[in-house]
Amino acid sequence: RTCVQGFIEPTRFFQEYVIPGYPVVFKGAAKEFPAFQRWTDEYFLSLEESKEWMIEYELGKKETREGGQEPISFADYIKRYNDEDLYCVTGLPKFLRGDMPIFGPLNCKFVLTKLMDDLVMWFSSGGTKSVWHYDDYENLNCLIKGKKELILANRSEMELGHFQREGSFSKVDVDSVNLNTYPGFSEITFYNATIEAGDCVYIPTFWGHVVRSWGRNIAINAWWDIYKTPFECTPPDFSDWGAVSLTTDSDIGKAGEEVIKDTEGARELSGNLRLLMWSSLSMRKSGRISRFDFLEALSEFEEEILGLLESVHGSPQDMTEEECLWYLISWMLTKINIWTLEK
């Protein structure tokens, strides 16, 4: 089922949707959140922390990935966003996390302590348009205010999506697709999900998507690391996001035993490697890949892989180049836990 009423329990969510990689809409699931009633502009401005808490916004509601983000206090953004072409994309401020209970399908200690990456606020006066892109994280997005339309495509068709290797997005104009320049779009099967305030949608890793918004629009999405192995779900001893450690810029390896420092370019390369390996598997019905094919695919990235190892661990003085390469491959497999190699 692609649409269910309210949230479902975590074990079912992971078994039926996350592990196989199927999107799903949870109708009305966020209507019980305190934020659903509280989050007016007046409420935000009444909070003393809003005057000092710095967030980031993008200039322009139609995303291009060519511009950067600008810092601004949360209160100043509230005073400007209705009259200017601004789009707030920022980590959910800590002083607002108490208004957001843990999303029901993620309410597992293992998920929240080992897999969680970030909680992001998407806030505008409406009229935003994203680029055509994919995420190399799992994504559960809850809409608190407004309306959104998502156009999605299965990751099995990502080769048709004209994605750039660097940046995980396409330069196609989402308002007017030139099929001479981007012929693959004529062959993709697209799916539509239109959600309203109170709905949540799960977007699987590597599914292509574009998002549009209408009306005063606030959404909060949770990103977590890929993990495709069944696990036992035990509830945490906390009930809201205020107790969850969200470390967007501090590490890229929470799902494995290693906690690895993130540096410029390391997160993006990590995502590229995950995409490469997932693509190799997604083309095979058996879900298996030979060691030869796996290593042949990785050979293209040998220099980048060694560079990533050095960037996250420092110069590997006591390891040969071959040992370094195998060490990083081993780490990638431990971290993502989704590939099976044939002997």
Asked if 102 and 60 touch (Cβ cutoff 8 Å), the reply is no
Which residues, 6 or more positions from 127, have their beta carbon under 8 angstroms from its beta carbon?
A: 61, 213, 214
Calculate mean pLDDT across residues 272-286: 51
Share of the chain above pLDDT 70, in %: 71
Calculate mean pLDDT across residues 1-24: 93
pLDDT for the residue numbered 155: 87
Encode pLDDT of 227-265 as tens digits: 878 888 999 988 778 778 775 433 332 333 233 333 334
Average pLDDT, the chain: 81
Confidence of residue 23 (pLDDT cuts 50, 70, 90): very high
What's the sign of the alpha-carbon dihedral 270, 204, 247, 255? negative
The SS3 assignment for 131 reads: coil
Encode pLDDT of 193-211 as tens digits: 999 999 999 999 989 999 9
Calculate mean pLDDT across residues 310-336: 56
